[in-house]
Structure 1
């Protein structure tokens, strides 16, 4: 079984008759109201540093039109607007609950003319070929039901010379970080999710999805096979997170 096939088998609700995509949408709808807080709380705020580092990969190309896939509540899109100042950012996500919270944040920040959040599926992106200068995905690709299909769609809507930046969790390999990380993810994270977000299933799914996701050279190979060029991988914080950068 390929690594990607293994990823497809990891779902939030074992025994559910819903597809992985439907389960992901339901899970994020359920935790949307506490998602931002839990992200920062469980990572001790390091996720903010990771996002800033990922956006640096786009500074050289100065994108005017950006797409943020699996945008959630729009955190990455908001940060991209602040640091890169594109003319327009479109964020897409399959969770209406997450999008609703994101739109509220964007309205309060007065960024509705710069950032638009809309319902959208990574596997069927509703934009013409070669539309965007840059595409970002923060902590979302491991939730794709069909990884290669989602990557191919992003390739399709990216302009020639455009850049894709993916920020995703990965599994550290260095002792004792690996052991501490695995224990935290396996035992502490689900309890925090149950306590704060009232969803143990969502935060039990998180470590399983990270464990199953193709990382490092395996992910670089998948991106290359999807026709992306100049594919790089940079690990952060002892390998807890990785930035993948690729060009069309």
Structure 2
């Protein structure tokens, strides 16, 4: 909904995974072309299959690629989205500079990322859930002792709130804002080139 007022026509979904956000963006915004990019060939294959099954492969395409060295020319897109992916970037500052490079002047960046709540009421519940419940379910499903225990670590390690806005500004973005959601466990960051 936050992107609708920008009427994006050429969207890049970075760290697209299996393409769920890209397909949702296509349904909600009906852009001229939408491209999803991810490091994982297996996830891209699943995303492509979803686009084919939905009959929209001519408007929504997926490719394997590195977000730290995007394989696109300067000023290619009028919108970039990243959902739950920036915390896994090896060099977040490089990723943001690359996104800035491939965005057209006046274009929008939308980042959705998990975050650590600051409320003294929500934080203990969040800590219990992310440190006990999620790793336990991960172990049961994957039979891997370390499965999903990285999640709270990766969430805590990524810059949040004003620190994330500062990274966006350092990459060249302006009009940087953030909106906490779900009691602060998720945040939407918006910025303009």
Question: What TM-score does the superposition give when structure 2 sets the normalisation length?
Answer: 0.97
Residue 81 of structure 2: SS of its match in structure 1? strand
**Structure 2 residue 94 is the aligned partner of structure 1 residue 94:** no
Distance 1:212 1:66 in 2: 28
Choose 199-208 or 209-218, whichever is displaced more.
199-208
Q: Matched residues in 2 for 1:103 and 1:72: separation?
A: 11
**Which of the numbers 30, 34, 41 marks the counterpart of 1:85?**
30
**Structure 1 runs of 4+ with >6 Å offset:** none
2:88 aligned residue (139, 143, 152): 143
Query: Between Structure 1 and Structure 2, which shows a larger proportion of helix residues?
Result: 1
| 2:103 is the counterpart of 1:158 | yes
Alignment of 1:11-160 (within 5 A): 56-160=1-105
Structure 1: stretches of 5+ with no match in the other structure:
1-55
Say how many residue pairs are matched.
193
Cα deviation for residue 72 of structure 1 reads 0.1
Q: Which residue of 2 aligns with 1:27?
A: none
Q: Aligned equivalents of 2:53 and 2:142: distance in 1?
A: 23
Q: For 1:79 and 1:125, how far apart are their aligned partners in 2?
A: 22
Query: Structure 2 regions of 5+ residues with no counterpart?
Result: none
Structure-2 separation of matches of 1:148 and 1:219: 10
> TM (normalized to structure 1)?
0.76
Q: Distance in 2 between matches of 1:236 and 1:146?
A: 25
Q: Secondary structure at the match of 2:177?
A: strand
Number of the residue aligned with 1:51: none
Aligned residue in 2 for 1:169? 114
**Alpha-carbon shift at residue 101 of structure 1 (Å):** 1.6
